């Protein structure tokens, strides 16, 4: 009897219409294009990931799982390269992309199947272990690559190949007689099939995605039990013990905690959000909101990192947020952004944009070095100095994932709705958007995220009435808005946005001034690891301290006085770490007084403390200088 709708009211503006020229993202995008994408290609070649599509390799059986799902890495690279081509045409890269696309197509089997590992090494094991072997995950990433390739080149050859593969999967799996009721242990294909549906117009792909989401976690019997028994295995001997690991422990509509492998959970929920919209299904949207509440209010790091545990690359229990051992995989931050971007479009609730911003500026972009040629897989919130980015990984899922998000980062800035233009972020950019079918050019200038002053100029063909929706970030307590120099009363926000509804003239200028003080952040009393602690944040930027700036003492010796934090100075340093605002202030540090190397514990005499100057830098930029300690959360004292 619900009357709630689950259709999206907003439509994101594509990155193809947005050109960033801000101090934070534009250099990252440039490095991504010039350094990271070529670097990743070379690594994929060197590790045989590209050559695998020649179907001419030897592998032991059983093979390491990272080899089994190796097709997904070139797929993500191809997606990144295609996005880059759209914004920065490049004949050389275009030729390479064409070559890789042809290679992928050449590996397709007559029945449409397209997976190098199972074609070459274990043809008899095709589709025999959906739980563990990532076949549909690889298919999904290839589908996303195909959609991007068609978008970039207009050439449908790869799209057609992946449609044939989707047809194959659609014949094999489903609820009908003669089909197996399977779905992938690593979700991804669900959201990919929705993209494939939009790119091809073939509604069967949407239906297949819906089937996969709804079959997931059904248990009479459970498909992963069935296929394990068919392999001669005891399903109870699943290493992860329960199907929570792959979010298949119960149907999605019955899940109320975000569990298991973090990337899997987020990709799945992105697909669920897509289907909620496509089928106008409030029960799927409700599942999203329920799991979002649990994730954001009980299981997310301040950086937007998610999944504290290395063991399952994922979630543990509510309020368990260790800092030094945080897993917080880069791919999980990416998938968190993808899911929230989908949720944001339903009703324009700024709480989703808050998560996107918090994650992009911190726990996502920490994943790549400023030089663009080394990466974090794991993004802890404290380090003894032994954690460093590396050029590549045995499981290289993160680098090309960073690549595709950076290349399409413009996706996240704007949405349009009925008589509405939504501005989610304030990174400097030029955008060509369409509101109610009419073109609007936006020139947004700012020094965001280092300063909160935003200047927004509109160019229209003709005067046009629409609501300009400006996001007031969750971190912001005070702001001022002017239109053409005249103050506007925007004291109240609606779900995180202020609205200026008027007939806009070409040349209208809106200024938004977001007050951006240094803030002390505290964690819920149930987060045992963070009690008596504070973190530093300014605007969307979470800060950390590094040994190199705070030399001579261990960072855990430093305590910060909450009352002093607002007095920390903000010092923009153009030559440091690509240009960052550092924070400077005073803390108190435990001294060596009375201690020596022959005393580990002492009785009744607490350590003495002394004032110490401290310097904090943006978390995302750590480990770009001399290796050393890093810490986000400090003792408050």
Position 526 contacts a copy of itself (CB under 8 A): yes
Single out the residue of 61, 62, 228 nearest to residue 131, CA to CA: 228
Position 599 contacts a copy of itself (CB under 8 A): yes
Tell me the Ramachandran region of residue 598: left when phi exceeds 0, alpha when psi lies from -120 to 50, beta otherwise.
alpha
CB 97 within 8 A of CB 51: no
Q: How far is CA 79 from the centre of its chain?
A: 15
Nearer to a copy of itself by Cβ, of 144 and 357: the residue is 357
The residue within the footprint of a copy of itself, chosen from 528, 567, 571, 613 (CB under 8 A), is: 528
Build a one-symbol-per-residue string for 560-589: x at contacts with a copy of itself by CB under 8 A, - elsewhere. --x---x-----------------------
Q: How far is it, in rounded angstroms, from Cα 6 to Cα 10?
A: 12
Span from 158-166, 414-422, 454-462, 555-563 in contact with a copy of itself (CB under 8 A): 555-563
Q: How far is it, in rounded angstroms, from Cα 85 to Cα 81?
A: 6
Position 270 contacts a copy of itself (CB under 8 A): no
- Residue 45 sits at the vertex; the CA angle it makes with 43 and 47, to the nearest 5 degrees, is 70
Cβ of residue 598: shortest distance to a copy of itself, in angstroms? 5
396 secondary structure, DSSP code? -
Count residues near a copy of itself (CB under 8 A): 51
Region 145-174 residues binding a copy of itself, contact defined as CB under 8 A: none
Q: Please confirm, yes or no, whether 397 is among the known catalytic residues.
A: yes
390 secondary structure, DSSP code? B
Give the pair of three-digit tokens for residue 282.
């409030």
Cβ of residue 613: shortest distance to a copy of itself, in angstroms? 18
Give the pair of three-digit tokens for residue 495.
């779900």
Nearer to a copy of itself by Cβ, of 439 and 532: the residue is 532
* The 3-state secondary structure of 434-446, one letter per residue: EECCEEEEEEEEE
Q: How far is it, in rounded angstroms, from Cα 49 to Cα 43?
A: 8
Cβ of residue 618: shortest distance to a copy of itself, in angstroms? 17
DSSP helix/strand/coil, 624: coil
Region 458-487 residues binding a copy of itself, contact defined as CB under 8 A: 475, 477
The residue within the footprint of a copy of itself, chosen from 80, 557, 560, 621 (CB under 8 A), is: 557
Span from 11-19, 85-93, 161-169, 557-565 in contact with a copy of itself (CB under 8 A): 557-565
Cβ of residue 537: shortest distance to a copy of itself, in angstroms? 7
Phi and psi, residue 58, nearest 5°: -120, 140
Nearer to a copy of itself by Cβ, of 203 and 297: the residue is 297
Instruction: Render the burial of 518-536: b for 16+ CB within 10 Å, e for the rest.
Output: bbbbebeeebebbeebbbb
DSSP helix/strand/coil, 224: helix
Tell me the Ramachandran region of residue 201: left when phi exceeds 0, alpha when psi lies from -120 to 50, beta otherwise.
left
Cβ of residue 305: shortest distance to a copy of itself, in angstroms? 13
The residue within the footprint of a copy of itself, chosen from 161, 258, 275, 300 (CB under 8 A), is: 300
Span from 11-19, 222-230, 414-422, 559-567 in contact with a copy of itself (CB under 8 A): 559-567
What is the longest distance spanned by two Cα atoms in the chain? 80
The residue within the footprint of a copy of itself, chosen from 337, 559, 582, 630 (CB under 8 A), is: 559
Position 521 contacts a copy of itself (CB under 8 A): yes
The residue within the footprint of a copy of itself, chosen from 90, 320, 436, 513 (CB under 8 A), is: 320
CB 361 within 8 A of CB 449: yes
CB 609 within 8 A of CB 526: no
Nearer to a copy of itself by Cβ, of 317 and 572: the residue is 317
Position 236 contacts a copy of itself (CB under 8 A): no
Nearer to a copy of itself by Cβ, of 31 and 590: the residue is 590
Nearer to a copy of itself by Cβ, of 56 and 597: the residue is 597
In degrees to the nearest 10, what's the CA dihedral of 143, 144, 145, 147?
Answer: 90
Q: How far is it, in rounded angstroms, from Cα 201 to Cα 208?
A: 13
Single out the residue of 316, 315, 327, 306 nearest to residue 376, CA to CA: 327
Span from 150-158, 204-212, 464-472, 515-523 in contact with a copy of itself (CB under 8 A): 515-523
The residue within the footprint of a copy of itself, chosen from 155, 484, 554, 572 (CB under 8 A), is: 554
Position 84 contacts a copy of itself (CB under 8 A): no
The residue within the footprint of a copy of itself, chosen from 1, 177, 552, 598 (CB under 8 A), is: 598
Q: Which residues lie across from 631 on neighbouring strands?
A: 382, 545
The residue within the footprint of a copy of itself, chosen from 503, 524, 571, 573 (CB under 8 A), is: 524
Cβ of residue 147: shortest distance to a copy of itself, in angstroms? 35
Sign of CA dihedral 472, 280, 204, 183: positive
Cβ of residue 531: shortest distance to a copy of itself, in angstroms? 5
Build a one-symbol-per-residue string for 393-432: x at contacts with a copy of itself by CB under 8 A, - elsewhere. ----------------------------------------
Residues 6+ apart with CB under 8 A from 261: 186, 245, 246, 247, 307, 312, 313, 314
Cβ of residue 347: shortest distance to a copy of itself, in angstroms? 18
The residue within the footprint of a copy of itself, chosen from 555, 580, 583, 616 (CB under 8 A), is: 555
Span from 16-24, 101-109, 150-158, 531-539 in contact with a copy of itself (CB under 8 A): 531-539
Q: What is the CA radius of gyration of the chain?
A: 25
**Residue of 313, 329, 357, 629 marked active site:** 313
Position 237 contacts a copy of itself (CB under 8 A): no
**Residue of 82, 397, 476, 544 marked active site:** 397
> What is the edge-to-edge ordering of all strands in the sheet holding 420-423?
11-12, 414-417, 420-423, 464-471, 497-504
Instruction: Render the burial of 156-186: b for 16+ CB within 10 Å, e for the rest.
Output: ebbbebbbbbbbbbbebbbeeeeeebbbbbb
Residues 6+ apart with CB under 8 A from 239: none
Cβ of residue 635: shortest distance to a copy of itself, in angstroms? 5
The residue within the footprint of a copy of itself, chosen from 121, 384, 432, 445 (CB under 8 A), is: 384
Nearer to a copy of itself by Cβ, of 371 and 610: the residue is 610
The residue within the footprint of a copy of itself, chosen from 88, 171, 231, 297 (CB under 8 A), is: 297
Build a one-symbol-per-residue string for 323-362: x at contacts with a copy of itself by CB under 8 A, - elsewhere. --x-------------------------------------
Instruction: Give me the DSSP letters along 18-73.
Output: EEE--TTHHHHHHHIIIIIHHHHHHHHHHTTTTGGGG------SSPPHHHHTTTHH
Q: How far is it, in rounded angstroms, from Cα 637 to Cα 594?
A: 21
Residues that are catalytic = 313, 397
Binding site for a copy of itself (CB under 8 A): 293, 296-298, 300, 302, 320, 325, 384, 475, 477, 519-529, 531-532, 534, 537, 554-557, 559, 562, 566, 590-592, 595, 597-607, 635-637
């Amino acid at each position: 009897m619900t009357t709630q709708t689950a259709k999206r009211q907003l439509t994101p503006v594509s990155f193809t219409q947005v050109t960033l020229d801000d101090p934070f993202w534009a250099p990252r995008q440039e490095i991504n294009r010039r350094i990271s994408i070529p670097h990743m290609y070379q690594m994929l070649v060197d590790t045989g990931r590209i050559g695998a599509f020649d179907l001419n390799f030897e592998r032991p059986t059983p093979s390491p799982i990272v080899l089994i799902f190796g097709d997904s890495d070139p797929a993500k690279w191809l997606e990144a390269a295609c996005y880059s081509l759209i914004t920065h045409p490049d004949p050389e890269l275009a030729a390479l992309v064409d070559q890789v696309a042809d290679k992928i197509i050449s590996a397709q089997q007559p029945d449409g199947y397209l997976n190098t590992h199972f074609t070459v090494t274990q043809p008899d094991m095709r589709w025999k272990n959906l739980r563990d072997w990532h076949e549909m995950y690889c298919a999904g990433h290839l589908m996303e690559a195909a959609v991007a390739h068609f978008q970039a080149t207009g050439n449908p050859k790869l799209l057609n190949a992946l449609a044939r593969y989707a047809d194959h999967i659609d014949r094999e799996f489903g609820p009908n007689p003669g089909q197996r009721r399977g779905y992938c242990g690593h979700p991804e294909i669900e959201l990919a099939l929705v993209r494939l549906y939009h790119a091809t117009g073939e509604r069967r792909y949407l239906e297949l995605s819906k089937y996969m989401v709804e079959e997931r976690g059904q248990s009479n019997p459970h498909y992963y039990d069935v296929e394990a028994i068919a392999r001669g295995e005891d399903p109870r001997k699943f290493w992860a013990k329960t199907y929570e690991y792959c979010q298949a422990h119960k149907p999605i509509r019955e899940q109320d905690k975000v569990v298991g492998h973090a990337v899997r959970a987020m990709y799945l929920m992105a697909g669920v959000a897509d289907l909620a919209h496509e089928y106008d299904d409030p029960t799927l949207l409700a599942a999203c909101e329920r799991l979002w509440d649990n994730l954001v209010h009980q299981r997310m790091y301040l950086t937007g990192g998610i999944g504290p545990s290395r063991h399952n690359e994922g979630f543990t229990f509510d309020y368990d947020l260790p800092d030094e051992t945080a897993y917080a995989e880069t791919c999980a931050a990416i998938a968190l952004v993808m899911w929230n971007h989908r949720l944001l479009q339903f009703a324009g609730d700024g709480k989703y944009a808050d998560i996107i911003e918090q994650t992009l500026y911190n726990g996502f972009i920490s994943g790549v070095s400023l030089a663009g040629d080394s990466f974090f897989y794991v993004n802890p919130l404290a380090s003894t100095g032994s954690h460093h980015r590396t050029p590549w990984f045995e499981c290289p899922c993160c680098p090309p994932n960073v690549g595709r998000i950076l290349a399409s980062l413009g996706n996240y800035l704007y949405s349009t709705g009925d008589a509405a233009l939504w501005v989610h972020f304030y990174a400097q950019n030029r955008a060509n958007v369409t509101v109610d079918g009419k073109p609007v050019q936006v020139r947004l200038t700012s020094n965001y995220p280092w300063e909160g002053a935003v200047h927004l100029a509109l160019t229209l063909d003709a005067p046009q009435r629409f609501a300009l929706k400006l996001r007031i970030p969750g971190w912001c307590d005070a702001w001022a808005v002017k239109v053409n120099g005249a103050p506007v009363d925007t004291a109240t926000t609606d779900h995180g946005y202020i609205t200026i509804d008027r007939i806009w003239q070409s040349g209208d200028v809106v200024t938004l001034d977001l007050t951006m003080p240094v803030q002390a952040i505290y964690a819920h009393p149930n987060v045992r690891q963070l009690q008596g602690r504070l973190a530093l944040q300014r605007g969307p930027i979470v800060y950390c301290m590094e040994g190199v700036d705070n030399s001579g003492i261990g960072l855990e010796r430093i305590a910060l006085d909450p009352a002093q934090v607002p007095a920390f100075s903000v010092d923009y340093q153009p030559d440091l770490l690509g240009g960052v605002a550092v924070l400077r202030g005073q803390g108190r540090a435990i001294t060596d007084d009375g201690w020596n190397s022959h005393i580990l514990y002492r009785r009744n005499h607490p350590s003495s403390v002394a004032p110490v100057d401290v310097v904090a830098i943006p978390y995302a930029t750590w480990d770009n200088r001399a290796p050393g300690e890093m810490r986000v959360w400090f003792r408050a004292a």
